[in-house]
Amino acid sequence: MLRSTMLLAFLIGIAAFVAVLVMNGFADIVRGVAVIGWGLLAIVLIRLLALSLAGTAWGLTLGHRAGRPALLYVGLRIVREAINCLLPAAQVGGDIVGGRLLAQFGVPPGLAAASILVDLLLQTATQGLFAVSGLFALWLAFGDTPVVREIGWGLAIAVPALGGFFLAQRLGLFALVDRGMGVLQRFLPGLVPDRPIDLQTGLAQIYAARGRIGGACLVHLAGWSTGILEIWLALDRMGQPSSFAESLVLESLGQAVRSAAFAVPGALGIQEGGFILLGSLFGLSSTTAISLSLVKRLPDLAIGLPGLAAWQMLELRKLKLPLLRRGA
């Protein structure tokens, strides 16, 4: 049922995406992307920097407890992003895979899973702060208008969910996961791991190092901020130079729209609609706004496709190891 729902959301997103392109002049949109030229490569490199910062922040939450090189977290973070962006996985499937792959590299399963939960919380919280900075810039530019108020209310809706996710981690609710797995193991052996993964213990160990949590937040904020440069460079190459405040609004609130559409893989069609709405506030035509959205999608493909290939290589490595051991 869940798989069917995700597939339906994926198909609806593709239909909406194609409709937006056709209705706004596909040829003009493509020309708007092509005119950026060398800037497209620069934008891919900027996104690679953003993902490297995100991976570094993930590694910071574990620190010496895992003892793994920073490049491992960066590589697995790219895999996580590739799955979330390019596959119908509701933007969380990549995180599940990332935790499992991290455990394959020797990190205790409970600690690996806990690191994913903490990293998701920190990512969302810092993205929220980034979006609030964009909302503030929008308020400075246009004042207390209906659009500003509606965006503000939209961001406020996420606060209770974020707070609940944090409290669930800190109040020990994830200990119920281990207990539930123990019950399943008794009645359905082989379906879940033989031993508890100690998820709550892993969370407690990570949160005990407050300095690393604070450092990870700062690194995540730096990662989100790199997107401002993507927007500024793309618009400048399109002949639509923008100020820092305009680029901040487009990036921060555009990312918020994309995250809100988590049920649609890649936020197909929805990201484009968000850029049309936000771009219109600064005088951008719908064609330019959609071109900008497509430019933002280019790194998803340029980095994501190799990321998917790396994921498959890691999965093959997992399959080969038992065979090699048997052969020995």
pLDDT band at 76 (very low <50, low <70, confident <90, very high): very high
In the numeric block, which tokens belong to residue 12? 């609806």
Per-residue model confidence as pLDDT tens digits over 294-310: 999 999 999 999 999 99
In the numeric block, which tokens belong to residue 22? 């056709």
Looking at the chain, the whole-number percentage of residues with pLDDT higher than 90 is 51
pLDDT band at 211 (very low <50, low <70, confident <90, very high): very high
Closest CA relative to residue 51, chosen from 82, 20, 74, 71: 74
Closest CA relative to residue 35, chosen from 306, 236, 250: 236
Please give the pLDDT value at position 319: 65
Per-residue model confidence as pLDDT tens digits over 251-300: 999 999 888 877 777 778 889 999 999 999 999 999 999 999 999 999 99
In the numeric block, which tokens belong to residue 155? 């961001």
Please give the pLDDT value at position 187: 46
How confident is the model over 139-162, as a mean pLDDT? 87
pLDDT band at 109 (very low <50, low <70, confident <90, very high): confident
pLDDT band at 192 (very low <50, low <70, confident <90, very high): very low
